[in-house]
Amino acid sequence: MTASVPTLDFVERHSPQFTALADQIWNLAELRYEEFASAQLHIEMLEAAGFRVTRGVADIPTAFIAEAGSGGPVIGILGEYDALSGLSQEAGAMTCQASSEIANGNGHGCGHHLLGTAAHLAAAAVKEQLERTGQAGTVRFYGCPAEEGGSGKTFMARAGLFDDLDAALSWHPAVHNGVFSGETLANIQAYFRFRGKASHAANSPHLGRSALDAVELMNVGVNYLREHMLPDARVHYAVTNTGGLSPNVVQANAEVLYLVRAPRNDQATELFERVRNVARGAALMTGCELEVVFDKACSNLMQNTVLNQLVHKHLQAIGAPAFSPEEMALAAEFQKQTLTPEDIEGAGRSLGQAWRNPKPLFDHIDLYTPGNERKMYGSTDVGDVSWVTPTAQCFTACYAFGTPFHSWQLVSQGKSSLAHKGMLLAAKTMAASAIELFSAPDMLAQAKAELLERRGGKPYACPIPDDVKLPFQR
């Protein structure tokens, strides 16, 4: 069973309106928990289409839920709209240059302007189908802020917003078309703030206690941990406060932000505690005080074969976009001028067909083999949703093959027809998958049973403690 022609036609008929929405959000490029204008654009269109919108859910001003239909099953479609700092880029440019349209220095280096828009369009198509056919069920669009470094969905999961879902669907812009079948890493992010004592660095250095020394010693100590971590674990840091610009002052305050990743939540927690112990040692060595501020966390992604097979079926039925010779030429030019052979090789290594026959644009659907789940070393707060309810995602090709995530090259292509075509494929796939689920109670039951089995009898436990406030509330 595939989606009805009217549903797919709905996506095509409304594609100009939603292409414009994606471009508007690209132009805004708002960061985590600051996506006020982007969220408002989505809300206005959803309300105009007849959705019931609840704003400010989970005490997050830029999070919302839009709902249509009634009764069960309840199918959720997840949308995002946050950007990344420091990735301002002129649209369509073949060189790295700041955007002339955006003054805030940010850029959509992960394609979330497309992600939220395709999810919105899919929800609108499903609403139209429910109304046209009289099918019972509720479609729910989640406006999810702060996926980049904020774990908005994890805070939303902590508030119980996904507890009554029968299934959830999402997608991510990429350089290929296929099921999102990789396992992602759980993570924990925290600030380590050291307080020492200021003093004249020449006249009385013995009276000072350097917080910057503590940060440096912590970083050295954590680097010594790397040999003794799980091979799949990752630890990253950024020094966010060096204590000032005067070398003749012993720095009294300094701060470093750490992001700790591991395959499972318990492993991330264990590794985070080891990092915390290194920080305690650095504070003792320098005579400084230490404050640890837990920022955010997210769970590892729980795959669901039942839903993955459903999404793959509809991806295949709809097929890859038909790229024009001009679009192929544009992608080839991006590859030639902005990417390295290593970029292209890295993108294709895990994709057998692309590896054998690389093209500037991925123009087919990648094979999906249940149980052959690739390791992905990034993280996503969709992981927390996947622990609560059966969840599936797809990738669609929106960029020249080999374009790295979180790069200026990806931002540059974000308003192109390539990106828009991939966005529409994602909308059709999610809409078709959701529509089938409304009349497939056995499939939903199987998906839920699989989730319980994969959890090994463990309930979902939010990795963000109850007493941790949202970043903007601190």
pLDDT in tens, 285-335: 999 999 999 999 999 999 999 999 999 999 999 999 999 999 999 999 999
pLDDT of 351 above 90: no
pLDDT in tens, 228-249: 999 999 999 999 999 999 999 9
Token output for 453: 């089995």
Domains, the chain, in order of start with CATH, read 5-184+301-455 (3.40.630.10), 186-298 (3.30.70.360)
Task: Using DSSP bridges, classify how beta strands 234-241 and 253-262 pair: parallel, antiparallel or unpaired.
Answer: antiparallel
pLDDT of 1 above 50: no
pLDDT of 2 above 80: no
- Residues with Cβ within 8 Å of 410's Cβ and at least 6 positions away in sequence, in order, are 108, 109, 110, 111, 399, 403, 404
Residue type, 64: F
pLDDT for res 32 = 94
Among 350, 377, 387, 375, smallest CA distance to 464 is for: 387
pLDDT band at 84 (very low <50, low <70, confident <90, very high): very high
Check if the beta carbon of residue 327 is closer than 8 Å to that of residue 413: no
**What one-character DSSP code corresponds to residue 471?**
G
pLDDT for res 77 = 98
pLDDT band at 375 (very low <50, low <70, confident <90, very high): confident
Among 60, 381, 19, smallest CA distance to 27 is for: 19
pLDDT in tens, 92-141: 999 999 999 898 999 999 999 999 999 999 999 999 999 999 999 999 99
Q: Is 8 helix (H, G, I), strand (E, B) or coil?
A: helix
| High-pLDDT (> 90) share of the chain, % | 89
Q: Is 35 helix (H, G, I), strand (E, B) or coil?
A: coil
pLDDT of 347 above 90: no
Sheet holding 253-262, edge to edge: 234-241, 253-262, 186-195, 289-298
Report the alpha-carbon distance of residue 16 to residue 138 in Å, rounded: 26
pLDDT in tens, 407-441: 999 999 999 999 999 999 999 999 999 999 999 99
Check if the beta carbon of residue 374 is closer than 8 Å to that of residue 151: no
pLDDT in tens, 324-333: 999 999 999 9
Residue type, 146: A
CA atoms within 13 A on the CB side of 54: 11
Sheet holding 52-55, edge to edge: 52-55, 64-70, 137-144, 74-80, 167-174, 391-397, 178-179
pLDDT in tens, 29-50: 999 999 999 999 999 999 999 9
pLDDT for res 93 = 97
pLDDT for res 248 = 96
pLDDT band at 3 (very low <50, low <70, confident <90, very high): low
Mean pLDDT of the chain: 94
**What one-character DSSP code corresponds to residue 116?**
H
